Amino acid sequence: MTSFSALAGALAISFSAILFGLSGVDPITGAFFRVAYALPVLIVIWLTVRHRDRRSRKMRLLALASGILLGVDMVVWHTSIGHIGAGLATLIANSQVVFVAVGAWLILGERPSRRIIVAIPVVLIGVAMVSGLGRSDAYGSNPLLGTLLALVAAMFYAGFILVFRASNKIQAPPAGPLMEATAGGVVMVLILSTVTGGIEFAPTWPAHGWLIALALGAQVVGWLAIGYALPRLPAVETATIILVQPVLTMIWASLVFDERPSTVQLVGAALVLAGVGFVAIARARLAPEPTPTTV
């Protein structure tokens, strides 16, 4: 049941870039309504389980802080989609696993294994190939810029994942941390809108129909399923499921938007996927298994 929940969550969030693309709105507007439409729903869900939410004030603040990072991630990632497409942008953004490994090394002093050290250059070579290497047949209006933006999104996504996990170490119902993270995302996107351009608040159809689907499908259903499952799964299984989202998104992008990356970009995507999977599984084997909980 737990594995099914994780896979269902990965399936739900695999449509994030697709639904944003279908909405046709600008990156800041898409990011805002993804969290704004989701927040009231999450509040209602949390109210039904709040008696089981025994997290400390520090954990709640951590969840809010993770949302600040998520807000930046969403805006930058949405921007990268416009330059390199939904599939490749999502793939590069999911290289966050590598940034987690590097961050743990530089900040926490957790020296990576030789396998991870070997895998990181493979990912970087793959990222360079995804950028198109200046070739005229590269997919995207500006593949180099799109790749760089997706890498920046991956850094913030890594920060979000690390802080979000720390906000629920006691495995309380996931609605609480997700509600607070989503609130933090609302605040951060509003702040960014003062710098990057205003949010289009006037709802239009069908744009906001797609944004509601994005909010309910990815931000609510997807992340609730993932938030429940990941702390309860064996670490290696968790690492494997990480790879499901970008693979599915590339398939959906090909079917819905007819995205056709060049051969060089596809080879680069395969290298990124292989390297990310290798890093994720190598780190997972060193992680302790989750402790069963009745919460």
Q: Tell me the pLDDT of the chain averaged across its residues.
A: 87
Question: How many helices and strands in the chain, by DSSP H and E?
Answer: 14, 0
Confidence at residue 286, expressed as pLDDT on a 0 to 100 scale:
60
Cα distance between residue 169 and residue 244, in whole Å: 24
Summarised one tens digit per residue, pLDDT across range 183-241 is 999 999 999 999 987 899 998 999 999 999 999 999 999 989 887 876 666 655 665 66
pLDDT greater than 50 at residue 106: yes
Residues 122-165: tens digit of each pLDDT: 988 999 999 998 888 899 999 999 999 999 999 998 888 888 88
- Block residue for tokens 């970009």: 265
**How far are the Cα atoms of 53, 143, 254 from residue 86, in angstroms, in the given order?**
36, 12, 9
Cα–chain-centroid distance for residue 8? 15
- Is pLDDT at 115 greater than 90 in this prediction? no
For 242-282, the pLDDT digits (tens) are 678 899 999 999 999 999 999 999 999 999 988 888 877 76
User: Residue 220: how many CB atoms within 10 A of its CB?
Assistant: 22
Radius of gyration of the chain (CA): 18
pLDDT of residue 295: 31
- Higher confidence at residue 65 or residue 235? 65
Q: How would DSSP label each residue in 6-65?
A: HHHHHHHHTTHHHHHHHHT--HHHHHHHHHHHHHHHHHHHHHHHGGG----HHHHHHHHH
